[in-house]
Amino acid sequence: MIKLRFFIFFLLLTATTGIFAQTKAELETRRKEIQKEIAEINRILVSTQQKEKSLLEEVEEIQLRITSVEKLVRVYNQEANLITQNINENANRIDRLRTDLSNLKEDYGLMIQESYRSNNQQNRIMFLLSSESFFQAYKRLQYMKQYANYRKQQGEEIQAKTKELQALNDELFKQRKEKESILAENRKAKSELVSDQKNLKSLLAQVKVKEKDFKSEIKDKQKQVAKIDQEIERLIKEAIARENAKSGSKSTTRFKLTPEAKALAKDFSKNKGKLPWPVTSGIVSMRFGKHRHPIVRTTMIESNGVRIDTEKHSNARAIFEGEVSQINKIPGANIAVMIRHGDYITVYNNLDKVYVEKGDTVFRNQDIGRVGKNPSSGKTTLFFQLFKNLKKLNPELWIYKM
């Protein structure tokens, strides 16, 4: 019965430890991702700290940091709670194990005393000779062997439980040290968060005073963005018309695909959600679609793609194999490179240097140009868009963890 209870306890211990380890590993991975994100934000902001920034840009930067640090604090809290839970579980296991060990030692002590009283050679011989038959003598001999084996097994079980108890104590000490370290990091992150929140509150008060001026500024920027988007759509129409003319089609809205192009488009589609980022490191500072301005909440903004801030001299890279269909200078956004993947098109806008030529076949993760500075913010920014024919797609649904 004791063996059965121990076996069930061991199974529960193993299962719980496995679940804890998996969750702990997931949280550690998430924490490292956020810490990397924060490091990237800080590197990018440092690279533009010499530039005189507008009030809106300052607010955007602080909000960006606050959002990331808030995520980090949440993960720290989850890690600390998980360790606390496991510490409590281990402490309870230790109590149960000590009780089991005490009972085992007590039983073993009684067994040793009994064995000592009856373990001399004469008693054993007399016990065998007093048998009424050879079969009974054989059974008594077997009983003596089993008793000796059971005593040995009890001793080994005590040793095993003692080692397990020591291992749990060691693990408990390690977990408490780990929790102390995480709580210290969490306090540091919260301190930074409080400081940023105070600065944000002060800046937002200034924004409120000049809200009308900022509305006008945002609308002007949206007009510039709309012009760039219109130019890109015009260029895509031209590319569709030019390609379709080769096969006699007059459509300017949909590519007429060859079997090879169909296969490429199918492969591209299969990679939805798994495609690499168009830069090696960066942060999304403008998301896809129509939404309220993050600072001036009474104003709506719209984006046909995503804006990715990256480090100085970073390269843009192709997210999938394809053919360079267009390279054009876009007013207000440096150079745009368009790559065709069947009837999908990826647009890499705001490059100040290009490494490919029209008609080139490119492969996944190939550098295609150097990302230029955003004239209004001074940041190194890539404007990335994704289309299927003329249909605008949300890159965040296609790029891995964007």
HEC sequence for 325-346: EEEEECCCCCEEEEEEECCEEE
Per-residue confidence (pLDDT) for residue 329, from 0 to 100: 92
SS3 62: helix
Report whether 265 contacts 344 (CB < 8 A).
yes
Per-residue confidence (pLDDT) for residue 8, from 0 to 100: 40
Q: Does 120 share its domain with 268? A: no
Q: Does 352 share its domain with 383? A: yes
- What count of Cα atoms within 13 Å lies in the side-chain half-sphere of residue 112? 10
Q: Does 203 share its domain with 231? A: no
> What residue type is 251 in one-letter code?
S
Structural domain tally of the chain?
A: 2
Per-residue confidence (pLDDT) for residue 6, from 0 to 100: 41
Q: Which domain holds residue 149?
A: 2-209
User: What residue has token string 């077997």?
Assistant: 142
Q: What residues does 340 pair with on adjacent strands?
A: 323, 345
| Domain-embedded: residue 59 | yes
Q: Is residue 245 left, alpha or beta, with left meaning phi > 0 and alpha meaning psi from -120 to 50? A: alpha
Point out the domain boundary residue: 157, 180, 209: 209
Q: Does 222 share its domain with 205? A: no
Q: Does 194 share its domain with 134? A: yes
Per-residue confidence (pLDDT) for residue 158, from 0 to 100: 62
Q: Does 201 share its domain with 102? A: yes
Pairing assessment for the beta strands 367-371 and 306-310 based on DSSP bridges: unpaired
Dihedral over Cα of 331, 337, 341, 342: its sign: positive
Per-residue confidence (pLDDT) for residue 159, from 0 to 100: 67
Pairing assessment for the beta strands 335-341 and 361-362 based on DSSP bridges: unpaired
| Domain-embedded: residue 231 | yes
Q: What are phi and psi of 35, to 5 degrees?
A: -60, -40
Per-residue confidence (pLDDT) for residue 148, from 0 to 100: 58
> What residue type is 338 in one-letter code?
M
Token readout for 162 is 């003692």
DSSP assignments along 128-171, one per residue: HHT-SSHHHHHHHHHHHHHHHHHHHHHHHHHHHHHHHHHHHHHH
For 221, 225, 350, 371, 390, the CA distances from 375, given in Å and listed in that order, are: 11, 13, 10, 12, 27
- What count of Cα atoms within 13 Å lies in the side-chain half-sphere of residue 134? 0
Token readout for 252 is 């300017």
Point out the domain boundary residue: 192, 209, 226: 209
pLDDT tens for the chain, 402 residues: list them.
444 444 444 444 444 444 445 587 888 888 888 888 888 777 766 655 545 566 777 777 788 888 888 888 888 888 888 878 877 777 777 677 677 667 666 665 565 555 555 554 445 555 555 666 766 666 655 665 665 565 566 656 666 666 776 777 777 777 778 788 888 888 888 888 888 888 887 877 777 777 777 777 778 888 888 888 999 999 999 999 999 998 888 888 999 999 999 999 999 999 999 999 999 988 898 899 888 876 777 778 888 999 999 988 899 999 999 999 999 998 878 899 999 999 999 999 999 999 999 999 999 999 999 999 876 677 899 999 999 999 999 999 999 988
Point out the domain boundary residue: 176, 209, 242: 209
| Domain-embedded: residue 295 | yes
